[in-house]
Amino acid sequence: MQVTLKEIASQVGGRVEGEDCLISGVATLRSAQPGSISFLSSHNYRKYLKDTRASAVILQEIDLDLCPVSALVSDNPYLMYARVAALLNPESSMDGGIHPSAVIDKSCKIDSSVWVGPNCTIGPGVTLESNVYIGPGCVVERDATVGESSKLIANVTICHHSVIGKHVLIHPGVVIGSDGFGIANDEGVWIKVPQLGRVVVGDHVEIGANTTIDRGALEDTVLEEGVKLDNQIQVAHNVYIGAHTAIAGCVGIAGSTRIGKHCAIGGAAAVLGHLEIVDGVQINAMSLVSKSILEPGIYSSGMPVQNNKTWNQNYARFRQLDGMARSLKKIEKSIDSK
């Protein structure tokens, strides 16, 4: 696809500075060639701007004087880049149909525009709405619903009674609606607790590869609209994630925790169960959330990487903190008594 810079601006916004030019693709500042449009959203990459071979660069007003080529000026260059990349790389459409190797129960409700790929299994009572794409090797169990224009890329399992909204993108290996980890102890023997709820996924949600979302024990596990999950995330039973929250890879969320809207959780963070996290919270990577967070803001825990010698010294001092605190209290008491 090839469009002019002014045509791009007319569709995605921004202000054109410099000559109009033809754009056929996106690239980084360092790898760009004539015909490419690049972007500058971090000052760390400003050093590459003067030598870029891109035909145009998306940038902020503050960087315009440094740009040797045409520019598309925006307050949010990264967001603008996302929109330009989508414009230049439209998704290919696919006619509806069912691959001969797919196994489809006769009781399913499948719109004529749906594509079901090879080696898929679609169980009884399943509803697949218009323009749904079911990629190879997927399983959709009984009475599940997949909403309009949603896409299961490959080897996705949607367990029974799960509800997937519209325009949902689910990457390979995802499992939605498997049993939550519910067990009760009977004198040392673990007894399974039936998991009777569902998973309900809202519209415009994206779920990364090999992420697992457990069904609720009694109430539903819910992802509201616009939630974005990275790869290899564990969402336990009865978790509720508010609209437009983004969660990075390898995060674990224990059961019955409620996360608010417009939150962001960094990679490998762990959130314990039965907690509440209000709207507008950012949790940095590798953090352990052991208590509810009831005020918006940025939260961190854990220790950033250090050279090993410094880490050993700090760890040794950490082990001495209790004794040091006791000694300090004794000194304070002796001073107060004088």
Catalytic positions, please?
237
Amino acid 338 reads: K
Amino acid 198 reads: R
Task: Write phi, then psi, for 259 (nearest 5 degrees).
Answer: -110, 135
Task: Write phi, then psi, for 77 (nearest 5 degrees).
Answer: -60, -35
Residue with tokens 């959130």: 271
Query: Beta 206-207 vs 234-235: how paired, if at all?
Result: unpaired
Contact 32, 81 (CB under 8 A): no
Q: Using CA atoms, how far apart are residues 317 and 294, in angstroms rounded to an integer? A: 32
Contact 69, 57 (CB under 8 A): yes
User: Strands across the sheet with 206-207, in order?
Assistant: 97-98, 115-116, 133-134, 151-152, 169-170, 206-207, 228-229, 246-247, 264-265, 281-283, 297-299
SS3 state of residue 49: coil
| Cα distances (Å, whole numbers) of residue 188 to 54, 183, 255 | 67, 11, 22
Contact partners, residue 85, CB within 8 Å, separation at least 6: 26
SS3 state of residue 277: strand
